[in-house]
């Protein structure tokens, strides 16, 4: 059984809560701003889960393929795509070994996936292999120096069956060292801690105030983009 199989049925429920929908919106805005997806492009969503970003990309006129190792998560992704009438290809497979030729995709995206893989450096190298020359790889990660990472780490320690029990969260320095070249762009956000949230309006005010400083400390979400140069 894959790590997230048992979470498939309830995975999307978090995004329906007030705090979850705020976090989801902040992360999506950051991922889209950094990725700059364009209609007609070919994109790959690695570790696609229930297809949250696959569907978002498809809604923008992009030809999307999603890959995940979890049969249960892919089942939910296919159901959502069918319901929304989006033509997305979902494949079950190990993202350490992608079944695609070199230089296949204009955009490869991965959101909160490297935290759970055996070798994030190998996954990143494999992802870059299938990016076209001049194409982009965008990765979203939980910021290590944040209350979000502290909360997830505590969950992992308290419950050995938690998906976070073996998770690794990244500092900026670690992110820069994941690939032979440093990212062309790193964007930081989600500066509101889980226990600070009251309303979306209040949360957005705090987010705007704190994001101006761009500090790593307190940033719950980090997006990095690499451009394939060779």
Q: How many domains is the chain built from?
A: 1
Q: Is residue 41 part of a domain?
A: yes
The whole-number pLDDT of residue 24 equals 96
> Residue 98 and residue 68: Cα distance in Å, rounded?
10
Residue 163's pLDDT is 87
Q: Is 230 inside a domain boundary?
A: no
Structure confidence at residue 122 (pLDDT) = 97
pLDDT given for residue 11 in this prediction: 79
- 103 within domain boundaries: yes
CATH code for position 199? 3.40.50.150
Q: Which domain holds residue 20?
A: 5-225
pLDDT at 230: 85
User: φ, ψ for residue 202 (rounded to 5)?
Assistant: -65, -40
pLDDT value of position 10: 78
| Under 8 Å between Cβ of 207 and 192 | yes
134: in domain: yes
Say how many C-beta atoms besides its own lie within 10 A of residue 33's C-beta.
14
Mean pLDDT by 10 residues, the chain (230 residues): 67 91 97 98 97 97 97 95 96 97 98 95 98 98 97 92 91 97 97 96 96 95 96
Strand partners, 111: 140
82: which residues sit within 8 A by CB, 6+ positions away?
A: none
User: Are 128 and 102 spatial neighbours (Cβ–Cβ below 8 Å)?
Assistant: no
């Amino acid at each position: 059984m894959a790590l997230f199989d048992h979470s498939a049925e309830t995975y999307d429920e978090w995004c329906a809560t007030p705090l979850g929908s705020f976090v989801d919106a902040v992360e999506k805005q950051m991922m889209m701003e950094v990725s700059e997806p364009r209609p007609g492009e070919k994109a790959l969503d690695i570790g696609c889960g229930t297809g949250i970003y696959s569907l978002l990309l498809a809604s923008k006129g992009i030809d999307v393929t999603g890959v995940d190792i979890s049969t249960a998560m892919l089942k939910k992704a296919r159901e959502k795509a069918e319901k929304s009438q989006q033509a997305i290809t979902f494949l079950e497979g190990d993202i350490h070994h992608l079944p695609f030729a070199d230089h296949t995709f204009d955009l490869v995206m991965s959101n909160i996936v490297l935290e759970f893989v055996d070798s994030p450096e190998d996954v990143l190298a494999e992802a870059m292999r299938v990016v076209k020359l001049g194409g982009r790889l965008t990765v979203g990660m939980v910021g290590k120096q944040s209350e979000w990472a502290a909360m997830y780490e505590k969950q992992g320690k308290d419950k050995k069956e938690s998906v976070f029990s073996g998770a690794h969260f990244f500092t900026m320095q670690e992110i820069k060292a994941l690939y032979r070249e440093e990212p062309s762009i790193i964007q930081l956000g989600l500066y509101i801690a889980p226990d600070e949230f009251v309303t979306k309006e209040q949360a957005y005010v705090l987010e705007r105030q704190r994001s101006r400083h761009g500090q790593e400390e307190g940033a719950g979400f980090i997006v990095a983009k690499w451009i394939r140069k060779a």
